[in-house]
Amino acid sequence: MTLPPLGPESLTWRRFGDLRLALLIGWAGTLQAMHPVISAALVQHSDVFANPVHRLLRSAGPIIDVVYLGRAAGARVRRYHHGIEGDDAEGRRYHALHPDPYFWAHATFVAMQYAAAGYFTAPLSDEEKERLYAESLRWYAQYGLSMRNVPPDYAAFRAYWEHVVCRVLVRTAAIERSPLHRGERTPAPHPWLPAPVWFVAGPVFTGVQMWVARGLLPGPARAALGWRWTAADERALRAFGFAVRTAFRLLPPRLRLVPRARRAYREI
């Protein structure tokens, strides 16, 4: 299906480029790693376990590019997945470009906008939720993959999401091996970042990422990981979200978006 790329009129340009969505990188990564096929690909083909923060940050950029640059960026992301294939933990053949795991990864990026709303970003109306999902079809089309398995509307997407969360996601080998999920220290994500700085900042960054992930995960996914979340935890997350929203309003508008989004608006 040929659909036009997103543009500055889209709600996605404003919501997905919001700097606060960086708080949900670990959330999206957790949901992806819980998918058995994605887990197998990570275990067999990825260097994510050696430096997980670097890998998460490195992967985010190309996805953001697809939102703001369209089909050329989508083709680059698709090429990254060529040759990623093998047998999963159950002996089933997989390929990273198969529609099921590929769309699930995309779904987690779309859902970041929903999960952050009301906590770190402004709440979404029902109309805005519908609009974001409709725009996500244009976003996904930029990868040049089949659209046959894609839920056609927001209601169908919600049903799809519930099915995957409740029937597909498990505590996978990728989760078991992940330093982030094991609560271990991770290397600095970039060589230019001084080791003493990361020694102090690293545990804070990864701790916040995993705490936010634990709080915002769907209940069945959280239970599958054996994670607990109490009423006191929820109050603390709401308070943290309020502090983030308050501080964000003090930032100059140009600093409220990730760099690629800022460049896209300047280039209109």
160 falls within a domain: yes
CB atoms < 10 A from the CB of 120, how many?
Answer: 24
| Nearest in space to 60 (alpha carbons), one of 34, 26, 96 | 26
Contact predicate 124/110, CB 8 Å = no
**What's the domain count of the chain?**
1
Q: What pLDDT is attached to residue 75?
A: 95
Q: What pLDDT is attached to residue 125?
A: 98
Which structural domain range is residue 205 located in? Answer: 11-261
Q: What pLDDT is attached to residue 223?
A: 98
Angle of CA points 175, 205, 39, to nearest 5°: 15
148 falls within a domain: yes
d(CA 119, CA 240) in angstroms, rounded, equals: 8
d(CA 162, CA 153) in angstroms, rounded, equals: 14
| pTM of the predicted model as reported, rounded to 2 decimal places | 0.95
pLDDT digits (tens, 9 = 90+) for 56-99: 988 999 999 999 999 999 999 999 998 899 998 888 899 889 99
Which DSSP letter does residue 98 get?
S
3 state DSSP class of 117: strand
256 falls within a domain: yes
Contact predicate 23/244, CB 8 Å = yes
Which residues of the chain have a pLDDT value below 50? Answer: none
Which DSSP letter does residue 85 get?
E
90 falls within a domain: yes
Q: What pLDDT is attached to residue 1?
A: 56
Contact predicate 177/40, CB 8 Å = no
40 falls within a domain: yes
Q: What pLDDT is attached to residue 90?
A: 83
- Written as one letter, the residue type at 153 is D
Distance, first Cα to last Cα, the chain: 26
250: tokens are: 């003090």
Contact predicate 129/154, CB 8 Å = yes
2 falls within a domain: no
Which DSSP letter does residue 93 get?
E
pLDDT digits (tens, 9 = 90+) for 110-127: 999 999 999 999 999 999
159 falls within a domain: yes
What residues contact residue 136 under an 8 Å CB cut-off, 6+ apart? Answer: 12, 106, 110
For 87, the enclosing helix (H) or strand (E) is strand 85-87
Q: Which residue has the tokens 């939720």?
A: 129
